Structure formats: C-alpha cells, structure tokens
Amino acid sequence: MKQVYFDNAATTPMRDAVIERMTEVMRSQFGNASSTHSMGRSAKSLLESSRKTIASFFNVSASEIVFTAGGTEADNLVLQSAVRDLGVTEIITSKLEHHAVLHTVEHLQKKFDMTVSYVNLLENGMVDLIDLERLLQSPNKKLVSLMHINNEIGNKLDLKKVAELCKSNHTLFHSDTVQSVGHYELDLQAIPIDFIAASAHKFHGPKGIGFAFIRKGSGIKASIFGGEQERGYRAGTESIHNVVGMEEALKLSYANLEKEQAQVLELKTYFIDQLKGLSSKMTFNGNCVNTEESTYTLINVCLPVAPEKGGMLHFQLDLKGIACSKGSACQSGSNQNSHVLSEILNAENLLKPSVRFSFSSFNTKAEVDYVIDTLKEFVEN
C-alpha cells in the first residue's frame, strides 16, 4: 500500500544524519553528565556544547536554555512557576491555545483562584491585538501566553508586536513556539519575549526532548525536584543522545531553512490550488491560505462532503495510506470536535469533515496528486 505522510504538525520523520549522530553518542558517550570521572566529563561537555549551539540560533545565552522532555513540560514549567513563584495573578491567553497551555491554566485557576482572561479572536481566528491591549491595562500582575503558530489552523502571531505590547505594559510574555522553532528564525534579543517552549520532534529530531527559553533574571523556579541538573530548573539525569539529536536536527533545519521554506511553501500553494479545483464549495479554516499570516507548513480544509460519507472519510484516507489529522494529533482519537475549530466555525461547517494536512521537505507534488485523486470520490462539486 502507498504511504503518504501529511501529518508533520503532529511529528516529523527524523533525518538520517540525526539518527546517525544519536547512535554514535549512545555507543560511545553513555556516561552520566553528573559524574566526575572522564566519561562523565565527556558527557557533560557534549551537553553544554549542544546547549551553547542551540542558544546561538536564538541569540541568547546558553544559561537561558533549559532542556525538558518536550514542549508540554516547558509550557508547564513556565506557567506553573509564574503563578506559584512570581506572583502572577492573571494569565491572558486565547481559547485556541494548545492543551498544554489551556489545561495548565485551568489547573492553576482552580488551585490558586487566579484570574484567566481570554483575548477576543477575529473571524479567521487571529488574535485581536486591540482587545489584547485593552486586557493589558489590568492592574494585576500578568502573564500573556499566546502561541506563535497555531498547530491546527496555522495562524501566525506577530510575536514581536505582542512582545513589545507586553513589555510596554510591564507584563510577562510566554509563547508556545513548538510549531515555529526550526521553521522560522527567532532572534530573542530583537524580540523582548520572556519564555518560549520548543520540541525536537517537530523539526526532524527525536521525541522526548525539547527546551524552554527562560530569560535571565526572570525568577522562574523548579517544578521537578531532585538533583541540581539544568541549573536546578529540572532534576534528573540528562538524556545526552536526545540533546545531541536535537542539536543536530536544529543545525540541519537552520542550515537548509531558506531552501526548505521555499520548497514546502510551493507544495502548500500547489495543494491549495488542487483542492480549489476539486470543488467551488471548498473552504479553508482559519487564515491558512494567507501566506503572510499563516505558516507555510500546513493547511486546514473544510471539505464539502455529504454527511453519510463524512463519517468515513478519515477511515478511508487511512485505508489508502494517507496520514493526516482531523485536528491536533493530541485529540484525534477523541470523539469531541476540535476546540480550535469549535471556536471559529459556524454550526453548518462544524458538521462537515475538516482535515489538517501538514508538510515537510520530505513530501512531493506526486503525493499531493495522490491525495487529490483519493478525495475526488468524496467531495461534492
């Protein structure tokens, strides 16, 4: 059976060079980075070299990079400590955030009886910056948490503008940048942001490793207690092969960034054109067809499919070997509608099947053609 992978927003295939580098480290550099003997020192040297390299891509100090198990842990570390340790009494966020943020904020609201404010959204799901500015006038000690790239509909936040708004209103700013690290250049000296979260498996690296950027002097404290690893932010023996794999993946992503951005954007544009050609009733969710205000890596399409066929669409795509998603992978096994689409679609379109197709440089136009041919039997003209 033909296999077509269009679910790169969920996870990406690892590059061969990353696998080779990790295998080399697992074979020869298995020491504990906290040990004082030569093998431990060698592992520690690899760890800190990777931290320094990763920090350099964002124009920050190596001490501001904290390795985590992924984006979810990084989000939790920042949000929980901000409320518990920094005296934040109000979090401003949106209802389109990843559940790593939304569920953490809900937990904090219950536990600390703090204020949660949700910024208004425009019709296409973009954050209403005028309303955000209004919310920033609150006298509470505040933290804004807004993602850079929405993982379901691809909307892109103006990170620099929001960061400057927050700074001018004496508000901490955290952004889940899981969908943008490795896909966009982020100069964190030019962007006055306090915290970001990243995950290696979104840019052709290994699963189970990511990092938080925590700006120096922020006051954030540990959420996992034990040893003094990660400068006390996160106890536990570091996974050296995963850290080195993440470093290698990030190096390759940024070395090939311009070429792969152009390649993937061309593929996305081609896919959109082919979908529009299938039916005049085809609609796209969020702002994903706007190449300036959405990521080049995904589209989310509402398909004009008869109700009796709609329920079987994803099953049939899977039978044809096509991997895609009806929302984020984190909830695709759920019977509930996507919380993102529920916020921005009308009742009629919510009844139609929406599909997220997300791309990488591993994909081809021939794969797009295969998907289009498969959809023809479902889509109404």
What are the chain's domains? 4-12+257-375 (3.90.1150.10), 16-255 (3.40.640.10)
Give the E-state strand segments of the chain in sequence order: 4-5, 65-68, 90-93, 115-118, 142-145, 172-176, 195-199, 210-214, 283-284, 298-302, 322-323, 354-358
Record the tokens describing residue 257, joined without a space.
């960034």
Record the tokens describing residue 290, joined without a space.
């706007």
User: Which band of pLDDT confidence, cut at 50, 70 and 90, is reported for residue 335?
Assistant: low
- Residues 33 and 47: their CA atoms lie apart, in Å, by 8
For residue 246, the model assigns a pLDDT of 98
For residue 237, the model assigns a pLDDT of 85
Mean pLDDT of 147-174: 98
End-to-end CA gap in the chain: 28
Among 33-42, 60-69, 191-200, the range scoring the smallest mean pLDDT is 33-42
User: Which band of pLDDT confidence, cut at 50, 70 and 90, is reported for residue 224?
Assistant: confident
Distance set, CA 336 to CA 125, 201, 313, 318 (Å): 19, 26, 16, 19
Per mean pLDDT, which of 36-45, 349-358, 361-370 is the most reliable? Answer: 361-370
Give which of 128, 197, 194 is closest to 163, Cα–Cα. 194
Q: Indicate whether 318 pLDDT > 50.
A: yes
Q: Indicate whether 333 pLDDT > 80.
A: no
- Residues 279 and 258: their CA atoms lie apart, in Å, by 33
More confident of the two residues 323 and 2? 323
Q: Indicate whether 138 pLDDT > 90.
A: yes
Element containing residue 365 per DSSP (H, E) = helix 365-375
166, 288, 302, 330: the active-site residue: 330
Per-residue pLDDT tens digits for 190-200: 999 999 999 99
Q: Indicate whether 34 pLDDT > 50.
A: yes
Q: Indicate whether 227 pLDDT > 70.
A: yes
For residue 46, the model assigns a pLDDT of 96
What percent of the chain clears pLDDT 70, i.e. is strictly above it? 97
Per-residue pLDDT tens digits for 68-106: 999 999 999 999 999 999 999 999 999 999 999 999 999
Other CB atoms within a 10 A radius of the CB of residue 344 amount to 23
* 324 in catalytic set: no
Q: How high does pLDDT run on average in the chain?
A: 94
Q: Indicate whether 24 pLDDT > 50.
A: yes
Q: Indicate whether 327 pLDDT > 70.
A: no
Mean pLDDT of 304-320: 88
- Residues 38 and 36: their CA atoms lie apart, in Å, by 7
Composition of the chain by helix, strand, coil, percent to 5: 40, 15, 40
Q: Indicate whether 231 pLDDT > 90.
A: no
